[in-house]
Amino acid sequence: MTHPQRDTIYFDFVSQPSRAVVLFIRCTALPIKEQVTSLGRKTQRSKEYLTMDPLGKVPCLQEEDGFVLPESCAILRYLAQRHKVADHWYPADLRHRANVDAALDWHHWSMRRGAAGQVWNRVLAPMSGQKSSEEVAEGAVGILEQSLQDLEHYWLASTPFVAGNDISIADLIIIMELTQLQMLEGALQGPSMEQQLAPFGKVGAWMRRTQAETEPHFSAVHQMLQRATKNAIKWKGSMGGRSKL
Ligand SMILES: N[C@@H](CCC(=O)N[C@@H](CS)C(=O)NCC(=O)O)C(=O)O
Q: For the residues of 183-201, what is the DSSP string, one character each?
A: GGGG-SSS--HHHHHTT-H
- Has this prediction a pTM greater than 0.85? yes
- Tens of pLDDT along 71-111? 999 999 999 999 989 999 999 999 999 999 999 999 999 99
Among 51, 89, 170, smallest CA distance to 62 is for 51
CATH 3.40.30.10 in the chain, residue ranges: 8-85
Residue 245 has pLDDT above 90, yes or no: no
- What pLDDT is attached to residue 3? 62
- Tens of pLDDT along 140-183? 999 999 999 999 999 999 999 999 999 999 999 999 999 999 98
In 15-156, DSSP assigns E strands to 33-36, 60-62, 68-70
- What pLDDT is attached to residue 1? 60
Handedness of CA 123, 128, 133, 139 (dihedral sign): negative
Residue to probe by mutation, ligand 1, list 15, 107, 123, most atoms within 8 Å of CB: 15
Residues 6+ apart with CB under 8 A from 140: 113, 114, 115, 116, 117, 118, 121
- What pLDDT is attached to residue 52? 97
In 24-152, DSSP assigns E strands to 33-36, 60-62, 68-70
Give CA 241 to chain center in angstroms: 29
Per-residue pLDDT, averaged over 188-193, amounts to 89
- Tens of pLDDT along 206-233? 999 999 999 999 999 999 999 989 999 9
- What pLDDT is attached to residue 240? 62
Å from CA of 12 to ligand 1 middle: 10
For strands 33-36 and 68-70, give the pairing.
unpaired
Residue to probe by mutation, ligand 1, list 38, 45, 49, 58, most atoms within 8 Å of CB: 58
Residue minimizing CA distance to atom 13 of ligand 1 = 57
Residue 144's identity, in one-letter code, is L
Å from CA of 93 to ligand 1 middle: 30
Task: Answer whether 212's CB lies under 8 Å from 160's CB.
Answer: no
Among 231, 126, 132, smallest CA distance to 188 is for 126
Å from CA of 63 to ligand 1 middle: 19
Å from CA of 72 to ligand 1 middle: 9
Calpha distance 188→185 (Å, rounded) = 8
- What pLDDT is attached to residue 81? 97
Q: Classify 8-85 by CATH class.
A: alpha beta
Calpha distance 159→162 (Å, rounded) = 7
**For ligand 1, what atom is nearest to the CA of residue 45?**
17
Q: What are the distances in angstroms from CA 220 to CA 22, 169, 175, 216?
A: 10, 18, 15, 7
CATH 1.20.1050.10 in the chain, residue ranges: 94-238
- What pLDDT is attached to residue 244? 43
Q: Which helix (H) or strand (E) holds 9?
A: strand 8-11
Å from CA of 154 to ligand 1 middle: 27
Calpha distance 204→25 (Å, rounded) = 24
CATH 2.30.42.10 at 94-238, yes or no? no
